[in-house]
Structure formats: C-alpha cells, structure tokens
Structure 1
Amino acid sequence: MTFQAVIFDMDGVLIDSEPLWHQAEQHILGGLGVDFSKPPLLQSTGLTTASVIAHWYQHQPWPGPLPAQVYQRIIDFVASGITNSGSAKAGLPALLDVIAAAPLKMAVATNSPQLLLDTTLARLNIAHYFTACCHVDLVKHGKPAPDIYLLAAEKLGVAPQHCLVFEDSFAGVTAAKAAGMTVVAIPAAHEWQHSKFDIADHKIRCFTEVDFRQLAALIN
C-alpha cells in the first residue's frame, strides 16, 4: 500500500494538550460537584467535549449553568492553556518536514471545535503544512464515528484507503479504521499495553520512533 495523504489527530498527537483537558474537566466539572469516581465511569480521551459533559450531566446533574455554558468554559480553559504553554509532541516538526518533502497532502481531523484547532495551529506555527483542517463542528457525529476522517479525505481529494492516520485515542483509532484508513496508534504511556489498540495497523510510543526510510518507502 502506498499513501497519498497523511491525516493527524490533534489533541495528544500534534500537541501535548491532554493534561489541559484533564485539568479543565477536574476544575470545571469537579467545581460543579461531579465525582469522577462514581459509576458509570467514563474514559473521556478522544471523545467530544459535548459527549463528556452530557454523560456527567445525565448521571450527576448539577444546578446552575447549562451544559452548553459548561462546554464553553472548558473550551476557553483549554484554549488559554494552549496559547500560554502549548508545545508540539516530540518529533513532530521533523515528521511534518519529511511528509511535506515527499510531497504528500496533510490534514488535521479533530474532535475539538474550530477555536481550539485554530489556536493550536497558530501556537505551533504549523498551519501551512495542512491542505485540510477538519474540526468537530463540521460533522454530525464526532469520533468514534468515521465522519470526520471521511470528510478529511474528501477535502484532500484522496480515497480513504490511501490515507495514513496518526491517532492517540481508542475512539480516534476506531473512527479512522471505520473510515477504511491505515492507522498508526500512539497510545498514552499508561495505555501502551492495552489490547484495545490491537485494532491499529501499527503502534509507536512517539514520533521519534518513526523510521523515516520505511515511511518514505510507504509513500513513494
């Protein structure tokens, strides 16, 4: 299989933002009285923010702000953190340069809203690498549904089977596989051994593990 395009998830793949999401949920939802230790528990990594809020509001409803208002508070919290201290994942700049030199088309497909996509690309100064940028507001269903990956392929003008995807969450890997794409999983350290990532085609710990010669063979 040779590839014509590479699609990146954003949070936890392009940028080390997962700690910010955790802090936002703990600070804002916790401040509203949500007890994250009470069942039904939720693995929120890779899910849409709206679905995370809806889960906790259904099982531990709080008085006061509506879910839509809580959503905006969380987004603003994360956006501020990215603007002030966001940093690219290790090995990302070199990988982007190699792919751009191939040359291959690149896209971002994220479950985050446009504000966070724009904020991240500006903070990392990498917007110029991407032909298409797809955020959750553009699709009816976020990951783990395949919608956003299919949209990215459509915008790139590349068939899904010729797209290579980098994803860190199970929801994202599920979405990309459902779209018919080849997926490289980059699980968080605490999930590295989890069998759920066996559905991915490849698995790496970080971009510094990418074999550029092997990648060049795949994309040429």
Structure 2
Amino acid sequence: MKLKAVIFDMDGLLIDSEPFWKQAEYQVFSAKGVKVTPQLSELTATMTTRQVAEFWFTRYPWADASLDDVENNVIDKVIELVTEQGRPLDGVTETIDILKANQIKIGLATNSPAKVMHSILAKLGIGHKFDVLTSADEVNQGKPSPEIYQLTLSRLGVTASNTIAFEDSLGGLAASVAAGIRTIAIPAQQHYQSDKFAAAAAQLPSLSHFQLELAEQCLAG
C-alpha cells in the first residue's frame, strides 16, 4: 500500500504547548476560585477547552462568568504564551518538507480550538504547508473519539489504509487507531517505549528520527 497522506496531531507533537495550557488554565481557573491540583490537571491534559471548562465548573462552580467567557480567557492566554515563547519541536519542519517533496498530502487533526491552531501554525511558520486543517471546533467529540480523524481523512480524499498518523498522547493514539489509521507514536521522553503505546505501529523519540521508509513499513505491516 502506497503512502498517500500523513495526519499530524499538534499539541505536544509540533510544539511543546502543554506548559502553556497548564499555565493558562491555572491562572484563569484559580481566579474563579478553582483549586487546580496537578493530579486533576493531568486528567484534563487531552480534553478540549470546553471539556476542561466543564470539568472544573462541575467541581468548583462559579457565578460571575459564563463557560464561554472562561473558555475564551484560557484560549487567549495560551495564544499570548505561544506568541511569546512558542517554537517547533525537533524534526517538525524537516519531516513536513520530506512529505511535501514526495507529494504526500498533509493534514492536521487537533483537539485545540481553531483560534489556537491558527496561532500556533503561524508562530511556527508552517500553516501554509498543510493541505487540510481540522480543529476540535468542527466535531461533536474530540479525541479519543475518532471523529476528527474521520473528518480529516474525508477532507484529504484518502482512506485510512494509505494514511499514517503521528500522535504523542494516549487519547490521540486511541482516536487515530479507532479510525483505522496506523500510527507512529512520539510520546514524552518519560513514556518512550512504554507498553501503554503498544497500539502504535511504531514509536520514535522525536520527529527528527522519522524516515519515509518507516511510514511505508508501518503501512505494509
């Protein structure tokens, strides 16, 4: 099976944005009287921004702002931090250039809202290289639901059988695998080669280790 498309996750794969999200959420929700703990924050790491707002509201309901307003405050703070400090992770631009040189379609499927997605891609200077961009705003359920991958496949005009996905999280991996896409996992360093990512077709320490032959092998496997 010939490789026709690659779909990338964004947060944690193209950019180390998790610290930005944690900082923004702590600042915004703490101001609403929420007791943001590291343990509970871990549970929100792969949620959409609306799911995160609902998560904290059910535990520490506030009365002086709507969920929309609080969610947008988090988004705006993340964009501010991305603009100030964002940079691509190792191998991002090189991997995209390899795919473009081989006329392979490139998609993005992210649990982040469109506003954050466009800000990150603009900061990294790579937005124009993607054929399709799909954000959490466009689906009913974010990852680990496969819906965002199914929509991205449809937009790219390809099937799961000739597509590879890149994911760094278990929720993202569950989504891509549920969509039938063979996936290369690039977990955080402390989780590299963990059995938790056994559903992946392959694991890499970073995108800088990617070679086109590996994607072809994953499809053949």
Give the Å deviation of 1:40: 6.6
Structure 1 segments unaligned to the other structure (5+ residues): none
Letter in 1 for 2:124: L
**1:32 equivalenced with 2:32 (yes/no):** yes
User: TM-score, normalising length from structure 2?
Assistant: 0.91
Q: Distance in 2 between matches of 1:104 and 1:26?
A: 39
Letter in 2 for 1:62: W
Map of 2:189 onto structure 1: 189
**1:18 equivalenced with 2:18 (yes/no):** yes
Task: Summarize deviations over 1:72-98 as a string: whole Å, max 9, x none.
Answer: 000000111112221111111111111
Letter in 2 for 1:200: A
Please, which moves more after superposition, 163-172 or 206-215?
206-215
Q: Is the 8 A contact 1:173 1:183 kept in 2?
A: yes
User: TM-score, normalising length from structure 1?
Assistant: 0.91
Q: Distance in 1 between matches of 2:117 and 2:95?
A: 19
Q: Is the 8 A contact 1:79 1:116 kept in 2?
A: yes
**1:155 equivalenced with 2:155 (yes/no):** yes
Give the Å deviation of 1:166: 0.6
Q: Is the 8 A contact 2:132 2:155 kept in 1?
A: yes
Map of 2:91 onto structure 1: 91
CA distance 1:2–1:51, change in 2 (3 Å): same
Give the Å deviation of 1:37: 3.5
Letter in 2 for 1:15: I
Q: Distance in 2 between matches of 1:30 and 1:8?
A: 32
Q: Distance in 1 between matches of 2:38 and 2:22?
A: 17
Q: Distance in 1 between matches of 2:144 and 2:219?
A: 26
How many residues align? The count is 220
Name the SS for the 1:22 alignment partner.
Answer: helix
RMSD between superposed Cα atoms in Å:
2.2
Map of 1:178 onto structure 2: 178
CA distance 1:39–1:59, change in 2 (3 Å): farther
CA distance 1:40–1:214, change in 2 (3 Å): closer
Equivalent pairs: percent with the same residue? 35
Q: Distance in 2 between matches of 1:41 and 1:85?
A: 22
Letter in 1 for 2:37: S
